[in-house]
Structure 1
Amino acid sequence: MAGDIRRFETREEATSVAAEVVLAGLKTALEEKGRASFCVSGGSTPGPLFDLLAATEFGWERVTVGLVDERWVSPEDTSSNERLVRSRLLTKHAGAAGFIPMRTLHELPEEAVAERNAAYAPHCAPLDVILLGMGNDGHTASWFPGAGGLANALNPVGIETVAAIDARGCPVAGINTQRMTLTGPAVASAQVALMLLFGNDKLDVYEQAKSADPMDMPVRYAIDKLGPRLTVIWAP
């Protein structure tokens, strides 16, 4: 049933199954189209999954990796999702994959929306596999409750694939309030979606989000739009 959670006793087991879900989705895309797109989230949760994928022999040279969202910081900054992906996923076997950055040299993310939309749109029509996370405020991607640009990110007018977010006043966003994110339609296009959650707090938030208003807990948008294409994996 859509929205149900696959629960595992250990994070290692959950990560192993998550890798199987990702690789199966990419394999289907390669068989059908000869190419595959894979957009990933940052944070502390996916690191071990990235390590496992990187060490797996696969047709990575035919996979294009992108980001679900990005903080508007240098790629060398410790909070950069690009830095995480380059150091943990795009290594070993998976080093053969292509990569599309979100961060540009523009001062603000809104100045780069048109350029990054042009880069991302061909890979999100549809997106083959997406890895999502979720914060304790019910956000996914950079869809923070109360953020500037949230309504447009979920239901964009004009540019469809990426949007700028101003997360000033959103506690979970921390000091990096200028963001770029995939839009609601881009996330919802994914043929295979995986959400990896660790800890009892995340379990409680997810259950609340399933009946929340998407503007209050935006992960609800992804849950509803992805439906049975979303696999949620959880471990304590």
Structure 2
Amino acid sequence: MKHEFLSHATREEAVDFAARMAAGVLEAAIADSGRASFLVSGGSTPVPLFDRLANKELAWGRVTVGLVDERWVSPVDAGSNERLVRHHLLTGRAGAAGFVPMKTDAPTASDAVADRGMAYKPHCDPIDLIVLGMGNDGHTASWFPGSKGLRDAMQAEEDRVVAAIDATGCPVAGSMPHRLTLTGSAIIDSDAAILLLFGVEKREVFEAALKSDPAEKPIRFAVDGLGPRLTVIWAP
């Protein structure tokens, strides 16, 4: 079975649907097990979703928020996904949620893999809800085409949930190529996933990815692995 693709007339409608879906999934997870894990991506696309969710009535004290990936920069750096999540999601009612950072004081992302793997593993068994994004190069998480560590990250064994990526030379990674990212096994094991896409160009990239090798358009790996547990939400 394949993923569900939902088109909305406006981005506001898409965000509203995504927020209602996310809240529903988290509420169901809390009702089922008493807790919920919510792993989220950075970038500009999910910001309206975070802003909408921040004041949703939910048992946020029973939710643990984590990151899909992180740039190896200070948490106060403008490029930090942790900073973005703290400023847009972990406010209002959602400020009661727990948070597991990816960036540590380790000198390199590679040096932090073991520590962050232990920190993230309990929340990836499996992830209750993950919010993915996609770049114009077809990457998701920090799985950049042509990056060092890409194959190892996507095809990691089931017990490895975090991997280091060196995206030096990958245009979309820009000046922050060193990253930590969730592995393929962690992402595709998620109980539910949302991929939020805006714009005609992103839709074209996504459709091209469905016919591409995952090494060239890594989002394909996540789409195939998640199957019907993935809901793609798109608006022009």
Offset from partner CA, 1:32-66 (integer Å, 9 cap, x none): 10000000000000111001000111100000000
TM-score by length of 2: 0.98
Is structure 2 residue 112 aligned with structure 1 residue 86?
no
Taking a change above 3 Å as real, the CA distance of residues 82 and 34 of structure 1, as seen in their structure-2 partners, is same
The residue that corresponds to 1:103 in the other structure is 103
TM-score by length of 1: 0.98
Query: Counterparts of 2:158 and 2:45 in 1: how far apart (Å)?
Result: 33
The residue that corresponds to 1:126 in the other structure is 126
Segments of 5+ residues of structure 2 without an aligned counterpart are none
Mapped contact 1:69–1:179 kept (Cα < 8 A): yes
Shift of 1:3: 3.4
Mapped contact 1:161–1:186 kept (Cα < 8 A): yes
- CA-atom RMSD in angstroms: 1.0
Query: Counterparts of 1:2 and 1:202 in 2: how far apart (Å)?
Result: 19
Shift of 1:189: 1.3
- Following superposition, which runs of at least 4 residues in structure 1 exceed 4 angstroms of deviation? none
Mapped contact 1:14–1:233 kept (Cα < 8 A): yes
Mapped contact 1:117–1:159 kept (Cα < 8 A): no
The residue that corresponds to 1:47 in the other structure is 47
Aligned pair count reads: 236
The residue that corresponds to 2:231 in the other structure is 231
Offset from partner CA, 1:191-222 (integer Å, 9 cap, x none): 01000000100000000011111111000000
Mapped contact 1:3–1:210 kept (Cα < 8 A): no
Shift of 1:159: 5.4
Shift of 1:126: 0.5
Is structure 2 residue 14 aligned with structure 1 residue 10?
no
The letter of the residue matching 1:11 is R
Query: Counterparts of 1:107 and 1:59 in 2: how far apart (Å)?
Result: 36
Is structure 2 residue 134 aligned with structure 1 residue 137?
no
The letter of the residue matching 1:123 is H
Segments of 5+ residues of structure 1 without an aligned counterpart are none
The alignment partner of 1:146 has SS state of coil
Shift of 1:145: 0.4
Offset from partner CA, 1:101-144 (integer Å, 9 cap, x none): 00000111000000000000000010100000000000000000
